[in-house]
Amino acid sequence: MRFDNAEFEAAFGTAAQLPESSFLEIAFSGRSNVGKSSLINKLVNRKALARTSSTPGKTVTVNFYRLGDIRLADLPGYGYARVSQSEKARWAKLMERYFESDRNLALVIQLVDMRHPPTKDDIQMLDFLDKKEIPFLIALTKCDKLKKTERARRLAALPEELGFLQAPYRAIPFSSVTGEGAAEIKAEIEKSLERHE
Ligand code: GTP
Ligand code: MG
């Protein structure tokens, strides 16, 4: 599959706007600022297809990108404390609608900041994917920021922290700065698409 012909498709801010699932989708989920938009840009080899920002809460809409007849869904980040209650409610409705609308999901890439244990929200999200039997992989982001010993410590701690997961899962260290992990994630995307051929 070609990863280098991505284009922006549309952005949706409210649940009612979300279109039916008409293409196989790969969704990117994770807390605000974890690096979802950066990961998308790395995979499609574009500097700024998906807008990134050092200020959390940059992506507040569901953004669709198309790679031929595959759709990438950049989901709005969660867990950013400094948003209003009404904004949180909008987010929750949007995400609920996204996942409940019978999406044609090939894979969800759940991003977790590799420097820290998964947050409560990360765990809730992973538990949701696991219970719904939605195929997912974990991208451990910002791995360039860890020293060797920290990295080894995080990798050793994860199996217990994620011990509640029923499904076997892969956790791939990733850096949008060095490109580490990008080839592996692409290979997993390809595999997930093949299962739908
Ligand atoms: P929201 O849209 O707010 O939910 O954030 P996001 O998850 O899309 O994060 P985004 O890709 O915008 O990245 C947030 C910040 O982290 C930016 O300043 C990025 O440059 C930085 N960043 C993302 N990935 C990496 C990484 O792998 N390594 C390092 N060092 N910085 C990263
Ligand atoms: Mg973003």
Please give the pLDDT value at position 60: 80
Cβ-contact 9, 64 below 8 angstroms: yes
Pocket test for ligand 1, best of 29, 31, 33, 58 (most atoms within 8 A of CB): 33
Please give the pLDDT value at position 88: 83
**Ligand 1 atom at minimal distance to the Cα of residue 143:** 27
Pocket test for ligand 1, best of 53, 63, 145, 180 (most atoms within 8 A of CB): 53
Please give the pLDDT value at position 77: 86
pTM: 0.94
Please give the pLDDT value at position 16: 83
Please give the pLDDT value at position 19: 85
Pocket test for ligand 1, best of 80, 119, 176 (most atoms within 8 A of CB): 176
Ligand 1: residues within 6 Å at CB?
30, 32-38, 52-54, 56-59, 77, 141-142, 144-145, 175-177
Q: Minimum-distance ligand to the CA of 141?
A: 1
> Phi/psi zone of residue 77: left (φ > 0), alpha (ψ -120 to 50 degrees), beta?
beta
Encode the chain (197 residues) as per-residue pLDDT tens digits: 888 899 999 999 888 888 888 899 999 999 999 999 999 999 999 888 988 888 777 778 899 999 999 999 999 888 876 778 888 888 888 888 898 888 899 999 999 999 999 999 999 999 999 999 999 999 999 999 999 999 999 999 999 999 999 999 999 999 999 999 999 999 999 999 999 87
Rounded Cα–Cα distance for residues 165 and 168 (Å): 7
**Measured CA angle at 18 (ends 13, 19), to 5 deg:** 150
Please give the pLDDT value at position 96: 84
Q: Minimum-distance ligand to the CA of 80?
A: 1
Nearest CA to ligand 1 atom 32: 142
Please give the pLDDT value at position 189: 97
- Rg of the Cα trace of the chain? 16
Nearest CA to ligand 1 atom 15: 54
Please give the pLDDT value at position 15: 81
**What six digits make up the tokens of 188?**
């997993």
